[in-house]
Amino acid sequence: MGIRRLGYVGLNVTDVDAWTDLLSRTLGVGVTTVAFGTTEVALAELDLFKYRVALHPSTEDSPRELGWIVDTADELDRLTRRLTDAGYTVEDGSPQETGLRGATAMRWFTDPVGYRVELAVGEAKARTSVARPGAHPGVTGLGHFVLAGPRLVELRELYESVLEFRLTDYRAPGLFFFRCNSAHHSIALAHADTASIHHLEFEHGSIDDVGRAYDRAVANDAPISIGLGRHMNDKAISFYLRNPSGFHLEIGCGGIEVGDDWLPHDFGVPDVWGHRHAEANPFAAPEQAS
């Protein structure tokens, strides 16, 4: 399959300093700053690669780009043809954009809810920040995101039929989990009246790393939006923080992997235990809503 993994997410943010404080003090994530055009961009280093989250100073908080890593240049060409045949206009990324991503080639298009989706070949290993505190791995990478929007049918068609993601499971009335590798999911799609990222997940090395992050969140008065719990479908143990841009960061570990023999199914209830919401859950089943 052409798309190998979720590579990076770019965000327009109104308070880079608040983001940097949350990432560094609570999550132990190194942040570096680089020049990009006439501004500076803060790059969050979640693993050994150049960055996984880019924070662009802005007057608004909004997703800027959603980046997927493609196996080869030939696969990039093949996916470009599939997108073009499906009616999408695909553009080449500029040399400056491609260089910032640490890619050798990059193309982009606009999805049905208006977000810029990028397909990149290559990932630069260029970790520059100081070592993480302590001997524990902490954050180990970027896991997945949940995209909610008003054009769920078109979004499903894009990811499942055009980009060749596979449906792992779902929960009625309208929450669908898709994978592009052996991880349970790299993206989930849900219906909402307004397009948004519900959450972005940071992978952690162990349940102890998640627990230590939880303790630091409490100590630093970080806004815990969803408490500790274990999901029913991917079995991950996690909690969620409300980030300075207003959506959630999921801090998790232990998600299962699935093979080609996996059968999509409705997994029923959202959690095995926990995950108490500080606010109403927009994806709760009707009988669970309050």
pLDDT tens digits, 68-125 = 999 999 999 999 999 999 999 999 999 999 999 999 999 999 999 999 999 999 887 6
144 and 269 share one domain: yes
Q: Assess whether 157 and 36 both reside in one domain.
A: no
Which of 1, 126, 125, 141 has its CA nearest to residue 72? 1
* Together in a domain, 113 and 33: yes
Per-residue pLDDT tens digits for 218-255: 999 999 999 999 999 999 999 999 999 999 999 999 99
Would you call 191 helix, strand, or coil by DSSP? strand
Find the CATH number of the domain harbouring 76.
3.10.180.10
pLDDT tens-digit series, residues 130-144: 455 454 668 999 999
pLDDT at 286: 46
Distance (Å, rounded) from C-alpha 100 to C-alpha 42?
11
What is the DSSP annotation of 74-143? HHHHHHHHHHHHTT---EEPPHHHHHHHT-SEEEEEE-TTS-EEEEEE-------SPPPSSSS--EEEEE
Rounded (5°) CA angle 139-25-138: 15
Q: Are 203 and 143 in contact (CB under 8 A)?
A: yes
Chain Cα centroid distance, residue 153: 20
Residue 164 lies inside a defined structural domain of this protein = yes
Residue 133 is assigned to a structural domain of this protein: no
Q: What percent of the chain has pLDDT over 90?
A: 85
In this structure, the answer to whether residues 50 and 156 fall within a common structural domain is no
In a domain, residue 288? The reply is no
Model confidence, pTM: 0.93
Q: How far apart are CA 203 and CA 197, in angstroms?
A: 17
Mean pLDDT for 45-49 is: 87
Cβ neighbours of 50 (radius 10 Å): 23
Containing structural domain, residue 63: 3-121
- pLDDT, tens digit, 9 for 90 and up, residues 253-263: 999 999 999 99
Assigned domain for 213 exists:
yes
Cα–Cα distances (Å) from 2 to 73, 80, 108, 121, in that order, read 10, 11, 15, 10
